[in-house]
Amino acid sequence: MTNVELLKEKAGISACSFISDGMALGLGTGSTVRYSIIEIARMIKNEGFDLVGVPTSEETRRLSERLDIPIRDINESGKLDLTIDGADEFDSNFDLIKGGGGALTREKIVALQSNSMIVVADETKQVDTLGAYDLPVEVDSVIWQDSMDSLASICPGGVSLRGGIEDPFVTDNDGLIMDCSFGPSITEPKALEAEIQKIEGVVEVGLFVGICDAVVVASEGGVNTLVKPSGRLK
C-alpha cells in the first residue's frame, strides 16, 4: 500500500470516530470513504455496533453487501444520523464540489436527509476558491443537448459531456454528467447552484453548500479533523 493509500485509510478510519452505536448512516462513494465503510463493517462484526447504512451508489451498495453491512434503500431511509462521504474540493466555508464519481444526486439526497455530514479527503482537495475541479451537473438524458447549451452560456471555460457522445457516462439514475469548467472562480456557490438548477433538464448540481459539518483531512503530516464552528456536530 502506498503512502497515499495509507493516509486515505487512516483518514477513513478516523472519520468513524463520529459514529455511535445505533446510528443510521449515509455511506458515501469514492476511494477514500471506502476505508470508512470497511471500518464500519469491522465495528459491526468485532465491536457489536448496531448500525445500518444507506448507500449513495450501486458501487457502495455492492461493497456494503459484500462486507455484511445492513443496508436500507435510499427511498426508505428516513432521517439519518450521519453521512460520511468524500469530496473533489472543499473550501474554508466547508462548501464542496462533489460528483467526480458520478453519484452526486444520490449523495446529495442522502446528505440532506442526515443530521450531520463528515467529509473524508486528502489535502489536495482543500482550495481557497471552488472551481478548479470541473463542476459536475447531472442532466436528463433526453434533453441533454439543450441543457448543455444553457450551461455553456454561463460557464466561462466550456462544458463537456462526460465520456463523450460515443460512450457517455450514465449515472445510477440513467442521467448524464456535464463537466463544467468554471475555474477557481466560484465565490458564491449557493447563488450559482440556484442559477444552474433553473436550467431545464438539470437533475442536480455538484455544489454542496451549507451541508458539510467537518472534514477529515489526510496529508503527509498525518490526519487532521476540521470542524465547522457553526456546524451541527456537538
| Residue numbers annotated as active site | 107
209, 95 contact by CB (below 8 A): yes
How many Å apart are CA 127 and CA 208, to the nearest integer? 15
Alpha-carbon span 164 to 57, nearest angstrom:
22
Distance of CA 79 to the CA centre of its chain: 18
Residue 201 CA to its chain's centroid (Å): 21
Nearest CA-CA partner of 102 in 11, 179, 212, 208 = 179
* Phi–psi pair at 16, nearest 5 degrees: -75, -5
